[in-house]
Amino acid sequence: MRGKQLGRQTYALAHPPTAAGWGSVAGKKEGEGPLGPRFDQVATESYFGQRTWERAEREMQRLAVQTALSRAGISAAGLDLLLGGDLTNQCIATGYAARSLGAPFFGLYGACSTMAEGLALAALLLDGGFGAHAAAVASSHFCTAERQYRMPLEYGGQRTPTAQWTATAAGAVVLAAEGSGPCVTHVTVGRIADCGIRDANNMGAAMAPAAYETIRAHLADTGRTPADYDLIVTGDLGQLGSTLVTELFRRDGVELEHYADCGVLLYDLARQDVHCGGSGCGCSAAVLTASLLGDLREGRLRRVLFCGTGALHSPVSLGQGESVPGICHAVALAAAHSER
Amino acid sequence: MRGKQLGRQTYALAHPPTAAGWGSVAGKKEGEGPLGPRFDQVATESYFGQRTWERAEREMQRLAVQTALSRAGISAAGLDLLLGGDLTNQCIATGYAARSLGAPFFGLYGACSTMAEGLALAALLLDGGFGAHAAAVASSHFCTAERQYRMPLEYGGQRTPTAQWTATAAGAVVLAAEGSGPCVTHVTVGRIADCGIRDANNMGAAMAPAAYETIRAHLADTGRTPADYDLIVTGDLGQLGSTLVTELFRRDGVELEHYADCGVLLYDLARQDVHCGGSGCGCSAAVLTASLLGDLREGRLRRVLFCGTGALHSPVSLGQGESVPGICHAVALAAAHSER
């Protein structure tokens, strides 16, 4: 039996690959947030024991993958495929982490949607019969991203109210073609949506239309309603972007009852001075691996629609007057094969 | 019947997807090279009618995909999946081209190996039963890459003898799950190889070990010898890197008889002042789509091993004293299903 295409964007997997292991690594600030106790590792300083922030981010990826592999009961040598990416130019955190792991490697660029993109591709490939174990990894680091995308850190630039805080975090998931436990049942591949936002400090608004379009396509393709999910979670639109998604659905007469956003879940917004919430590839990767997958395994969640959102601009494209293209990939997760 | 894993890195496809259409777009200098008459479109100036080089590169991608779609007899609306990438920070040429095409989109970062990575993933996904048509696209532009990776163009920096010339070129292939003609029979997913090269002007030497490792793994996994291929083609190692690959195999007592490199094929090295040859994601993408696929269709080639090579460094990583990690993905192409 082969996977089935539903509509143009969605695939129902014939043999839903299971999450055999996962790992999460977070920075100090993230460790002080509501998910703090649930991370596998929390850094005590921004360098993670390395001599540059870029090396710190690479090390966080490596640790996240190693933790996931160890929980899955395999070594890096037993991994058939590693898929990953990050926000640094030329994705160097991932490239160098992949070098240290030595697995067959496909590099991705999906901005903050990378975890969902990697998970989607890993699930499709395993379901297609290619390999027994595939891992997806994504990371971000406040210090590598901020100076690259916005201002030198030393400048101490004032943040606007719509700004989000790039998470210092990494998450990795090892999927297995066989096994029991939380599994990937459907994948909805995103198309780019762009409503003309040109403000580098308002990524939530730039990505919200893509999240809306992909969730809508997923529900239409599968014939499901929001009530079929215990949680629909975007990542990472922040407070403003996630409010926009709720409003876009309300216009259609659809109420997103159990809806949350990884950018809002990662921090205590009232206390941690992160403005609209978290962002960065590591944000949704860390929320998935520190919280959602565990909740699925423990039965606190039965079905989750994990919707990674990314903004596919660059400082150069914004400087040239372009708007921000948004994308969102949705991965449907179930607590067990019986729940699909 | 499902695809079969051979060794750790290689997959033999059960229903080899066919190249239903392809398109190539090249810059002025590339149009003056040996493949000039075979490109679908050649620019008369570096801006390709746009107001920035980044927009020019995006336009080249769009044109390459549109040409491939039109040859395949489908519209962008009929495309189930677009996979692509480029060298610009945050892959903006691809992100904005994907916005204009509107297809479900997975962004890749494989540096100059991107065309092989996209082709590999497209073939695996189609063979896995996911969708009917998937496209792979990659591009590079001398002017967007050079100022980002090395020097401002206005500076007129002297090039070293081992330097390669970033190609202004784009190539796209539309694969179909069903059909006849040139097809993808095997995929060998690359692992990172790094021999410690720290010179940003010697990418050929940095990537040669990865090409050697992947080709060796492909031959071992499939039980084939170089003689089973009419052509083993790397892209883009240039003159120095491709000589190194030949020497590495010679040490093993293996003679690569029909071996070429896209970086050498794209230009007339004696006449065009490109030092060691071409590079950039667009180099191997353009050679594949302007020359190799046509030669397979016309029967001039029967079996080709297309080995995309990429250097996964960044100016920041080299500035921090890191060496250059290389990767190579190999895609086996046959003139027809009967030749696999």
Per-residue pLDDT tens digits for A312-332: 999 999 999 999 999 999 999
| CB contact (8 A) between residue B189 and residue A121 | no
Local structure of residue A91 (DSSP, 8 states): G
| CB contact (8 A) between residue A105 and residue B8 | no
**What is residue B156's predicted lDDT score, i.e. its pLDDT?**
84
**What is residue B192's predicted lDDT score, i.e. its pLDDT?**
98
Identity of the residue in B14, B81, B108 whose CB atom sits nearest the CB atom of A107? B108
| CB contact (8 A) between residue A130 and residue B5 | yes
Query: Does residue B192 belong to the interface with chain A, where contact is any CB pair within 8 Å?
Result: yes
Encode pLDDT of A175-217 as tens digits: 999 999 999 999 999 999 999 999 989 999 999 999 999 999 9
Please report which confidence band the pLDDT of residue A126 belongs to, taking 50, 70 and 90 as the band edges.
Answer: very high
**What is residue B1's predicted lDDT score, i.e. its pLDDT?**
66
**What is residue B269's predicted lDDT score, i.e. its pLDDT?**
94
Alpha-carbon dihedral sign for residues B75, B77, B81, B87: positive
The share of chain A scoring above pLDDT 70, in percent, equals 100
What is the ipTM score, two decimals? 0.98
Residues 264-323 of chain A with CB under 8 A from chain B are 312-317, 320, 322
Q: How many CB atoms lie within 10 A of CB A266?
A: 33
The pLDDT of residue A274 is above 90: yes
| CB contact (8 A) between residue A124 and residue B128 | yes
Tally C-beta pairs within 8 A across A and B.
Answer: 190
Within 8 A of B312 by CB-CB distance, chain A residues are 90-92, 95-96, 98-99, 107
Contact of B187 with B303, CB cutoff 8 Å: no
The share of chain A scoring above pLDDT 90, in percent, equals 92
Q: How many CB atoms lie within 10 A of CB A171?
A: 34
Helix (H, G, I), strand (E, B) or coil at A24: strand
Question: Could you give the CA distance from residue A113 to residue A259 in angstroms, rounded to a whole number?
Answer: 17
- The alpha-carbon gap from A171 to the nearest alpha carbon of chain B, in Å, equals 19
Residues 222-251 of chain B with CB under 8 A from chain A are none
Question: Could you give the CA distance from residue A5 to residue A7 in angstroms, rounded to a whole number?
Answer: 6
- The alpha-carbon gap from B38 to the nearest alpha carbon of chain A, in Å, equals 30
Contact of A280 with A167, CB cutoff 8 Å: yes
Query: Does residue B88 belong to the interface with chain A, where contact is any CB pair within 8 Å?
Result: yes
| CB contact (8 A) between residue A130 and residue B11 | yes
Nearest CA in chain B to A127: B128
Contact of B327 with B191, CB cutoff 8 Å: yes
Judged by average pLDDT, the poorest of A2-6, A137-141, A247-251, B5-9 is: A2-6
Say which residue the tokens 């929390």 belong to: A42
Identity of the residue in B91, B117, B127 whose CB atom sits nearest the CB atom of A106? B117
Within 8 A of B52 by CB-CB distance, chain A residues are 320
**What is residue B155's predicted lDDT score, i.e. its pLDDT?**
87
**What is residue A157's predicted lDDT score, i.e. its pLDDT?**
84
Name the residue among A168, A218, A216, A212 with its Cα closest to residue A189.
A218
**What is residue A322's predicted lDDT score, i.e. its pLDDT?**
97
Cis link prior to B295 (omega < 30° from 0)? no
The pLDDT of residue A1 is above 70: no
Question: Could you give the CA distance from residue B303 to residue B222 in angstroms, rounded to a whole number?
Answer: 14
Encode pLDDT of A127-162 as tens digits: 999 999 999 999 999 999 998 998 888 888 888 999
**What is residue B158's predicted lDDT score, i.e. its pLDDT?**
87
Question: Token pair of B262, please?
Answer: 């896209």
Contact of A120 with A106, CB cutoff 8 Å: no
Mean pLDDT of chain A: 96
**pLDDT tens string for chain B (340 positions)?**
678 999 999 999 999 999 999 999 999 999 999 999 999 999 999 999 999 999 999 999 999 999 999 999 999 999 999 999 999 999 999 999 999 999 999 999 999 999 999 999 999 999 999 999 999 999 999 999 998 998 888 888 888 999 999 999 999 999 999 999 999 999 999 999 999 999 989 999 999 999 999 999 999 999 999 999 999 999 999 999 999 999 999 999 999 999 999 999 999 999 999 999 999 999 999 999 999 999 999 999 999 999 999 999 999 999 999 999 999 999 999 999 888 7
| CB contact (8 A) between residue B124 and residue A130 | yes
Residue type, B30: E
